[in-house]
Amino acid sequence: MKAKLTLDKSKVISQIDDRLYGSFIEHLGRAVYGGIYQPGHKTADDMGFRQDVMELVKKLGVPIVRYPGGNFVSGYNWEDGTGPKEKRPKKLELAWGTVETNQVGIDEFQEWAKRAGTDIMMAVNLGTRGADEARQLVEYCNLDTDTYYANKRRENGFEKPFGIKLWCLGNEMDGPWQICHLTAREYARKACETAKLMKWTDPSIELVACGSSHKNMPTFGEWERTVLRECYEHIDYISLHNYYGNPTNDTPGYLAQAVNMDEFIKTVAAICDEVKAEKKSDKTINLSFDEWNVWFHSNEQDKQIPRWSYAPRQLEDIYNFEDALVVGTLLITLINNSDRVKIACLAQLVNVIAPIMTEDEGCRLQTIFYPFMHASLYGRGKAICAAVECGCYDGGGLKNVPYVTAAAVENDDGGVTVFAVNRSLEESAELDTAGFEGLKLVSHTVLDCDDMKAVNSLADPEHVVPAELSVNGATALPAHSWNVLRFKK
């Protein structure tokens, strides 16, 4: 198969916001307890944080981590996770049916984030709580004043404010599964008043309002319109969430799912602009795709988890090779929409639907670790237009899905990195590069495997790993492969 990739450096999509390569840690399963935090572990530091996990988080270069949920946040009292550990309450956690010990809270997590070299995207509880607790949390985290909550932080041993700049106004409040789910009108009012109080407390923060929990929600569209009309002046971003899966084992259809993500993004951006026009506003609301990933492998096994377990193995999807290709296509879609998507979070980071898995003996890198790492390391700079001409197929309910999908980023050193997935299961794609004059291909990294279902297991942890291809001669994207092509001046 032939695929023509045309680079037009004059067509800049956008300067990419580094936060496009964010991730997520929720108080769920073994993400926190037994994931980032395991006192007594052989690699634990003075605060109980696993150094082996932290090294891998650094390797991914994650610029921002959403915390503490997720569904968890809608029943969470943030004060429970502050102050002396021995006084912290052990509570029933209703979102996931577990027990929360509160041994990690914002006091510890902000320290973990500092040590891991990342920023926090903090969510407030708009389920069981509201504006009052949210503004108190902003004061606790960000203010230097001689006032009650800022002084509480000092009493707890943190003289300097944490300086958290990005905040989520609740989580998936459109979903009936959410603790204290709200209608669009109810959420819009609650979010608007909470946003006002949070920004009055600290005007330097940015706020993300909840959009739809996925593209097929019955309220999708109307939810966004209602929230935007009410909150427009007080928010900066609206969120999108979507998980993808292959429950019917239809690999071509599964590999096509990024087309759905693309449509979802473009629709939400259009709704933002519709409301902008209605309001005759100069302000543009951008998008925060703050939960995206593959999630379906663990659905059945999770039904067996006994209620009120502590840190159970929950949402522990074991990712195979085709999942890594899908993650690659989703990353390409985010880069190509970086004019509107400024923040995105791979959900999640450790153990729970995650690229990093832990055992007492050490960590394992899942297949999806690699495309995410490549995009985070080499996808910084300016997204530029990379047009692909190639054959198409119909699959997954979608028509004319191109076999080859690609994104190009002009890096700060003037080089260009191309990310490309060849979705064809049979044919490699011979690449004809136009518009690359003055650029030399210096490396071609590929993630490829004969077995679409291959995983990195405990017994064989390096079954699916990237390899370097020769850069002499014609460039071809192998059948079913993730490719990183680095061009230098």
Q: Which of 108, 133, 139, 172 is catalytic?
A: 172
Radius of gyration of the chain (CA): 22
Residue 75 engages ligand AHR in binding (rule: CB under 6 A)? no
- Cα 51 to Cα 173, 218, 228, 456, distances in angstroms: 35, 43, 42, 21
Q: Nearest approach, Cβ of 64 to ligand AHR (angstroms)? A: 16
Question: CA-to-CA distance for 364 and 199, rounded, in angstroms?
Answer: 41
Is residue 376 a contact residue for ligand AHR (CB under 6 A)?
A: no
In the residue annotation, 155 being an active-site residue is answered as no
Does residue 100 touch ligand AHR according to CB under 6 A?
no
Please give the residues from 6 up to 45 whose contact with ligand AHR meets the rule CB under 6 A. Answer: 26
317 near ligand AHR, rule: CB under 6 A? no
Residue ranges in 261-300 that form contacts with ligand AHR under rule CB under 6 A: 291
Q: Among residues 193 and 302, whose Cβ is nearest to ligand AHR?
A: 302
Cβ 30 vs Cβ 354: under 8 Å: no
Phi-psi region of 297 (alpha: psi -120 to 50; beta: other; left: phi over 0): alpha
Phi, psi of 261 (to 5 degrees): -65, -40
Q: Count each helix (H run) and each strand (E run) in the chain, helices first.
A: 11, 23
Q: Are 391 and 403 in contact (CB under 8 A)?
A: yes
- Told to check if 70 binds ligand AHR by CB under 6 A, we report yes
Ranges assigned E (strand) in 147-218: 166-169, 206-209
Q: Which of 26, 108, 230, 291 is flagged as catalytic?
A: 291
Q: Residue 79 interacts with ligand AHR (CB under 6 A)?
A: no
- The closest of 88, 108, 125 to 39, measured between CA atoms, is 108
CB 211 within 8 A of CB 238: yes
Give the position of tokens 């429970």: 80
List, in order, residues 6 or more apart from 257 with CB less than 8 Å away.
244, 326, 329, 330, 396
CB of 172 to ligand AHR, least distance (A): 5
Residue 174 within binding range of ligand AHR, rule CB under 6 A: no
- The nearest distance, CB 413 to ligand AHR, in angstroms, is 35
User: Which range binds ligand AHR by CB under 6 A, 4-12, 69-77, 248-256, 280-288?
Assistant: 69-77
Residue 22 beta carbon to ligand AHR: minimum distance, rounded to whole angstroms: 13
- Considering only residues 455 through 474, tell me which ones interact with ligand AHR, judged by CB under 6 A: none
Q: Residue 351 interacts with ligand AHR (CB under 6 A)?
A: no
> Contacting ligand AHR (CB under 6 A), which of 212, 239, 348, 367?
348
Residue type, 392: C
**For ligand AHR, which residue has the nearest CB?**
70
Q: Is 170 in the site for ligand AHR (CB under 6 A)?
A: no
CB 258 within 8 A of CB 405: yes
- Is residue 172 within the footprint of ligand AHR (CB under 6 A)? yes
Shortest distance, position 342 Cβ to ligand AHR, whole Å: 19
By the rule CB under 6 A, 212 interacts with ligand AHR: no
Q: Does 379 bind ligand AHR (CB under 6 A)?
A: no
Grouping H, G, I as helix, E, B as strand and the rest as coil, residue 274 is: helix
Among 3, 60, 134, 347, interactor with ligand AHR by CB under 6 A: 347
Residue 193 is a catalytic residue: no
Burial (Cβ within 10 Å: 0-12, 13-18, ≥19) of residue 206? middle
When asked if residue 355 is in the footprint of ligand AHR (CB under 6 A), the reply is no
What is the Cα 344 distance to its own chain's centre? 5
Closer residue to ligand AHR, CB minimum distance, 290 or 410: 290
Task: Count Cβ atoms below 10 Å from residue 183 Cβ, excluding itself.
Answer: 13
- Collapsed DSSP state (helix, strand, coil) of residue 65: strand
Cβ nearer to ligand AHR, comparing 166 with 484: 166
Residue 171 is a binding residue for ligand AHR (CB under 6 A): yes
- Mark out the alpha helices in 213-257 (DSSP H runs): 222-231, 251-255
Q: Which residues bind ligand AHR (CB under 6 A)?
A: 26, 69-71, 171-172, 291, 347-348
Q: Which are the catalytic amino acids?
A: 172, 291
